[in-house]
Homo-oligomer: A and B are copies of this chain.
Amino acid sequence: MKRKSQDFVSGPSLRSLSISMGKRARLRRLLYGHGPRNGTMMILPLDQGLEHGPADFFPNPAALDTSYEVRLAIDGGYSAIALGIGLAEKHMAEHAGLVPLVLKLNGKTNIPDDAEAVSPLSASVLDAVRLGADAVGYTLYVGSPRQDVGIRECMKVRQDCERYGMPLVMWSYPRGRAIEEKGGKGTLYAQDYAARVAEEMGADVVKLHEPAEDVELVPEPYRSLRETAPQRVRRVVRSAGRTLVLFSGGVKDDDAARVLRKVKLYMDCGATGVMFGRNMWLRPMAEALDLTRRVRAILSRYPR
């Protein structure tokens, strides 16, 4: 049974004593001050330009100009927009305060392959403080042969988050040669492990992908599992423990109805919300705002 997020950030319970005042204030802003304002979250991420290059914007060239996403985040009433340091500095000053900022702290290009993936910091928690952000984002490549680099760096980010009262949103992404040999990054095995790692590393919020069916290569007991999609989603939400789970949208799906069914599935299974990028900003503005409105309508039915 997933806890109510109010337990976590609102009440005067003993449990919430472990959250610093600054972190509580910022989390409340994301959960109750913006977006659906009911303890759920919808975040608009824009780190794909760094992670995949401008190729991602080809289907909707207008989205190459970050103003597009900023406008969508504000007009669509998102809980937050997630940007790297360059975009945040250049685009958010004129909109400061209209939509919360999740400053994405690390990232890389996809030009070299991901066999030994590592995601270097390009910004710090202090940069986030300076820019008035309400959370930071950190990508951890779970299971990469160079995971030690990421875990150590993540520790420092978490400690700075503690120091400055900044919530930590973790992109918990299985990646690298070893996970490929064990069935790939999308399997239930991989996502389930990633969910637990986020909880163990001290994330406040975790971004996951909807787990696919397991394949022959994954280790037992996953190999023998036969679970439905809802069972799989519930499993990873449970594995994330007290970490709030947001699901990623992945590549754009032209079928809006299918996108909405996904959102409903995630919320039914205990997610706190979604972090959809390409499925939003690759749509023409009117269409994107409409889809946003309908996603928000679903989230509104799941107060946490």
Contacts and interface: CB of A to CB of B under 8 A. Distances in A.
Interface in A106-148: 107-109, 111-113, 118-124, 127, 130, 142-145, 147-148
A286 interface: no
Contact of A200 (B94, B96, B122, B239): B122
Contact of A147 (B15, B53, B109): B109
Contacts of A87: 199-200, 241
Copy number in this complex?
A: 5
A274 interface: no
Interface stretch (A28-36, A173-181, A275-283): A173-181
Contacts of A193: 53-54, 109, 111
Contact of A196 (B18, B53, B124, B182): B53
A49 interface: yes
Range for the number of chain A residues in contact with chain B: 35 or more
B196 A50 contact: yes
Nearest to A53: B193
A25 interface: no
A91 B54 contact: no
B196 A54 contact: yes
Interface stretch (A154-162, A263-271, A291-299): A154-162
B221 A55 contact: yes
Going nearest first, the 5 A-B pairs with the smallest beta carbon separation are A111-B143, A18-B93, A120-B148, A53-B193, A112-B178
Given A18-B94, A55-B219, A122-B200, 16 more contacts: A14-B93, A14-B96, A18-B89, A18-B93, A49-B196, A54-B239, A86-B200, A86-B243, A109-B142, A111-B142, A111-B143, A112-B145, A112-B178, A119-B148, A120-B147, A122-B155
Interface of A: 13-18, 49-50, 53-55, 58, 64-66, 84-87, 89-94, 96, 107-109, 111-113, 118-124, 127, 130, 142-145, 147-149, 151-152, 154-155, 158-159, 162, 174, 176-179, 182, 189, 192-193, 195-203, 219-222, 235, 238-239, 241-243
11 contacts: A50-B197, A53-B193, A85-B155, A86-B199, A90-B242, A109-B142, A112-B144, A112-B176, A120-B151, A122-B158, A124-B159
